[in-house]
Structure 1
Amino acid sequence: MKTVASILALLALGRSKKLLEDGKIQADAPSCVKVRCPKAWVPKVGHHTLEGSTPEECCDKTCELFECTGAYKANEDYFGNVGSSVQACCDKMCGSEYHCDVGYVLADSRAAGTTKEECCLPKCELFNCTAPWAPSAAKKEVVSDEPEQCCDQTCAMVNCSLPDWVVNESKASEVGSSPGACCTPTCGNAKTVCPFGHLVQEGAKNKSSDGTAESCCTKQCKAHVCSAGWAPDVSKQEDFGEDDGDCCLPTCKQFDCSLEDGWAPSNVETVGSNETQCCVATCKQWTCNATESWLPVPGKENATGSSNSACCEPACSIFSCNSAEGRIPVQAAATVGGSSDDTCCESSKCTQIRQNMTVLKADQHCNDLSEAECETKYFLHADGNSSAVVTCTFDDVYKLCRYDVAAAIKGGCSGMDAK
């Protein structure tokens, strides 16, 4: 039985002590006062009077810990509420299956709401456009109930009392939102776009335009196409003009350049009336400087040019033959034009052949020769554009003079013929 003294002792000790049935006091009963609630938990009502040692005994979960699923979505405004149910912690969503009336669309399936007012928005097909607005078929599916989004502006709303514009009453009820679409321009208006080579003359800028370039624009010389034998006069490109006399100058097409005198036609479209203006010199007028190893090129007299590089070719005397490969300059290299090994060089064997051998006669063959005269003869072989010098050589095995084909000199030797 609890005595008055034990009860008083209990009150003095607080809730951390427990009074037993026999009146004795049990020490160190756990108190929620010492428990700290975790994040998103709040102390239970009367927290400081409760016994316990865990968050579950001393604290309540808030809605911040509750997961809204299915047709419900979380609302941060409820995070501080104590609870763990959709009713306490969540908002019901409109849902993708929500049915809106004709002319309305589901605003947001994930938005919070349960009524048509909360879940549906009107389309422009329900909006009545009145003057100065015009109905717009293209905007029927737009979700709005404002004229700016549902209707087209008419020209009646456009201010045409601006510089270079005048009112066009016939367009008042037409759809439009700019002076360009609704007003009539004057010829001086930037809307008046002249084609290339046309311009509004100063005196025509205040004239009302009928909407065509022809009503405002005048042709300039830069738009005129000069006839054959005429070229544009660049100094008159910005002038107003209609014909060759206004806009053009005579060209070299009307001048004759004489090839016989060493002149070839230049650009016939060039403006001019003499050789200097209309012609270009040919190689007929140029003298190739042999002392500098330049030689004339046959057939190039009428080619245009006035320099060694254009009209001449270098002499073989300045070409370097590869002595390491047994190549030497051809005979009279100073009078032979060329810049290649094939043209300017020959085998070093050619010198010995010219000095010690003679060509076989037309009716002779190496096989006809005796051992004594065998190696004093050579044969010139020509096949199309290729040639070769083949010497006769005596075969000691067969005791026979034969053609030394293996040692043939391809390209031949300069100064050799079949005499």
Structure 2
Amino acid sequence: MLVMKLALLAAAAALKQKPSCDGWRCSPGFVRNEAYHGNAGTSDEQCCDITCSGAKVTCPAGHVMKDPHKPGVNATECCSATCASVACAYPKTSWPKGSPHLSKVSTDPLDCCQDSCAAISCPTKSAHLPAKLSSPATSPADCCAPTCESVSCPNGFEHVKDKLSEVAGDGQKCCQQKCGDLSGEHGFQCSQGWKPLGDARSCVTQPCNDMQCCMKTCQVYACPESYVSNPAHASAWPADDDTCCQKTCQIHQCGAGYVPGSNFQRNHTVGEASSVCCDKTCSLHQCSKGALVPGAGNITGGSDDVCCEPSLCALFRNLTKSKNTGCNFQDEGSCHGMYTSVNNTKLNKTEDLRCTWEASLGLCRLGNTKKPEGCRD
């Protein structure tokens, strides 16, 4: 037992003789840590903590190293956020680059942000300049500008309603043209052939045009098909078919005894009477001798030469030509309704003669009734 005690005492004495951290002096880039007091050691690694500068820590943008002698090996341990890292919420804005406020160690918006122009109250008939909304607020004069409401529109123009609260700029967007007055001196000027409505109304769509502001006169009125413009009414208004247009023969219905003109151009002739628009047919003609030709209502004409034929032509037109030469071999019933062709040797031509029944002989023979020339067969 005594021997064991002596061994322990010897070991303790030997330990006391080893160098400890109490006497170690930390090198630059290291710092003493009291937690290592009494530890055996003779190096910075054993007796000291490395500092932020010793570890060569680099702080990210918007952060600074407040104490380079502080123990630490990374940005989390060594760096503190400054106002430069703060994203200011609208209508606040960051301080301008180079401002000493940005280097302040803080993330509190009260420390790091300032009012922008958006936070400024603009005077009546003025509004924030869009380009300066995020700029630092200085004064209404720097942040605001007159609106379209402050612009005086010239005669014949009016404010654009949805632009009243916008910054006017040069004023070009603030006013729009109206329809003109009856004098035609202000507002929209009607084109040739149009007459102003005269009530200086607003134009539904811009730019103003004749359809919104003016009435057509007959000068520019488009007559419907089958009508033509009436030159005597060129300046008349309001324009409509009855005022501006005249009927043409194209829509006229020819009366009894008339047919449409053969010349197409007559369809564009102004007129509403058959005597103007149509040609007479032979059905209206009175023959001086003879009778009207068949289909007289379809033949254009007004003379005997065109419209008339000998009266006997109608008789022969209702007879049947004999299949045999001459009239013989026909019974009484057939004989009355037949004719035959014979050769006139004296005149050297063929003539048509009506058959006749000779009752005393009971025979069908040639009669004396001859088909006249000039029949329209």
State the TM-score, normalized to the length of structure 1.
0.35
Structure exhibiting the larger radius of gyration computed from Cα positions: 2
